[in-house]
Amino acid sequence: MPQTKFLLDERDIPTRWYNIQADLPQPLPPVIHPGTLQPIGPPDLAPLFPMELIKQEVSQERWIEIPEAVRDVWRLWRPTPLHRAHRLERALDTPARIYYKWEGVSPAGSHKPNTAVAQAYYNKQEGVRRLTTETGAGQWGSALAFACQAFDLECKVYMVRVSYDQKPYRRLMMEAWGAKVLPSPSTDTNAGRSVLAKDPQSPGSLGIAISEAVEEAAQREDTKYSLGSVLNHVLMHQTVIGQEAIKQLEMAGDRPDILVGCIGGGSNFAGFAFPFLQEKLTGKRKDLRVIAVEPQACPSLTKGLYVYDFGDTAQTTPLMKMYTLGHSFIPAPIHAGGLRYHGMAPLVCALYDAKVIEALAVHQNPTFEAALTFAKAEGFLPAPEAAHAIRVVIDEALRCKKSGERKVIAFNYCGH
């Protein structure tokens, strides 16, 4: 009987994060202070982040050690399984071999705790008492709520209003772990009140929620801000996914031809793809295709401009060079709340600009059709975000059916 799951031992949980900055073709464009228009330094970020995370944000070291306390919490669910999608392959009648890295086994149900646990740990080490954050569909808010209770920190989450209304059980999950959850825009901050004054029925956006969380963190000495995607250190924390997947594909006796991940801010895609991209960037795997998939309703990479922009709606963040639809852009209220971000991680943008990776935008209805095809074959019902990757995986597998190619396609199934 063919093997379906490829499992690693707890001893195989990675001990180091991979920092792709060490292997980039060109250094990242600097992050700019909006007031001085000069590159920012650690003092500019200190009101929002603990110093250890600031150091990781700018580090050029290829490998950074993972604290044992972080790995100890990870042992609750890591290493995560790699599945061979035999049933999906049969349903599609494709010669392609399809694998998925299943990150939904974490307590919060997604990849997000990989960085949430690390961020909570470093904040606790520096004496922080409270963390504020934003969340779209609730995956990140759930992850940070879980991580904060693990390290005895208070947690306040600004949840994008459309998702707050669409996904009440995510709010309950955060509250079960002790977090306070507000719909964003809210009346708690100047940023939220400003949006509500213009549009009392605003569905909200990640950009607005970020503005609110940043504003509160900047005003309180005992509080820092925690971000679930976009920033370099966040993407780096997720590279445990790809490191494990490399070992598991070796166990399966396969090497990927195509890697796929959905993309909103960039963290799950980066966590899966960056460790594989090390070989491509160093010239060892030039033929590897890596595809980032975004919604047509928020096509930052495929239709955005590669310019300096704010990371939030209220223009409180530094300026980052990224593919952006504009910081005031509010996407349609699609179900994939975690992909409704106007910009993109600068690291992902740099790789896309250098043509190291590809990007595709897909519509919501065909994406949901792909999710149902996957669920009927594999049994797992994917989150709307993960379904974007599945749509492209199925399309690529059907191309293999036409061509007769036996390509190996692997994707990050980031949550349910």
Please give the radius of gyration of the chain, using alpha carbons only, rounded to the nearest integer. Answer: 20
HSE at residue 58, side-chain half, CA atoms within 13 A, is 13
Per-residue model confidence (pLDDT) at position 337:
60
Per-residue model confidence (pLDDT) at position 300:
95
Strand partners, 5: 83
Return the top range by mean pLDDT from 32-41, 198-207, 392-401.
392-401
Per-residue model confidence (pLDDT) at position 126:
97
The answer to whether the CB of 367 falls within 8 A of the CB of 401 is: no
Per-residue model confidence (pLDDT) at position 317:
87
Fold held by 111-233:
Rossmann fold (3.40.50)
Per-residue model confidence (pLDDT) at position 335:
63
The answer to whether the CB of 410 falls within 8 A of the CB of 277 is: no
Tokens of 365: 């209805």
Per-residue model confidence (pLDDT) at position 314:
81
pLDDT single digits (tens) 212-232: 999 999 999 999 999 999 999
What would the mean pLDDT of 44-70 be, rounded to a whole number? Answer: 97
- Which residue carries 């604290």 as its tokens? 67
Residue ranges of the domains in the chain? 5-17+63-109+235-413, 111-233
Task: Encode the chain in three state secondary structure.
Answer: CCCCEECCCHHHCCCEEECHHHHCCCCCCCCECCCCCCECCHHHHCCCCCHHHHHHHHCCCCEEECCHHHHHHHCCCCCCCEEECHHHHHHHCCCCEEEEEEHHHCCCCECCHHHHHHHHHHHHHCCCCEEEEEECCCHHHHHHHHHHHHCCCEEEEEEEHHHHHHCHHHHHHHHHCCCEEEEECCCCCHHHHHHHHHCCCCCCCHHHHHHHHHHHHHHCCCEEECCCCCCHHHHHHCCHHHHHHHHHHHHHCCCCCEEEEECCCCHHHHHHHHHHHHHHHCCCCCCCEEEEEEECCCCHHHHCEEEEEECCCCCCCCEEEEEECCCCCCCCCCCCHHHCCCCCCHHHHHHHHCCCCEEEEECHHHHHHHHHHHHHHHCCCCCHHHHHHHHHHHHHHHHHHHHCCCCEEEEEECEC
| Same fold for the pair 5-17+63-109+235-413 and 111-233 | yes
What would the mean pLDDT of 68-87 be, rounded to a whole number? Answer: 99
Per-residue model confidence (pLDDT) at position 336:
61
Distance in angstroms (rounded) separating the CA atoms of residues 98 and 378: 12
- Its pTM stands at 0.95
pLDDT single digits (tens) 119-132: 999 999 999 999 99
For residue 163, the one-letter residue type is: S
pLDDT confidence band for 151 (50 / 70 / 90): very high
pLDDT confidence band for 396 (50 / 70 / 90): very high
What would the mean pLDDT of 10-30 be, rounded to a whole number? Answer: 97
Strand partners, 258: 289, 409
**Average confidence score pLDDT of the chain:** 95
Task: Encode 338-367 in three state secondary structure.
Answer: HHCCCCCCHHHHHHHHCCCCEEEEECHHHH
Per-residue model confidence (pLDDT) at position 342:
87
Residue 67 has pLDDT above 80, yes or no: yes
What would the mean pLDDT of 239-259 be, rounded to a whole number? Answer: 98
Residue 410 has pLDDT above 90, yes or no: yes
Tokens of 372: 């149902």
Distance in angstroms (rounded) separating the CA atoms of residues 340 and 204: 10
Q: For 41-45, 244-248, 372-376, which range has the lowest pLDDT when averaged over its residues?
A: 41-45
pLDDT single digits (tens) 295-349: 998 999 999 999 999 988 888 889 999 999 999 887 777 666 667 788 999 999 9
- Which residue carries 């952006």 as its tokens? 324
Per-residue model confidence (pLDDT) at position 64:
99
- Which CATH number does the domain 5-17+63-109+235-413 belong to among 1.10.3720.10, 1.10.1740.10, 3.40.50.1100, 3.90.850.10? 3.40.50.1100
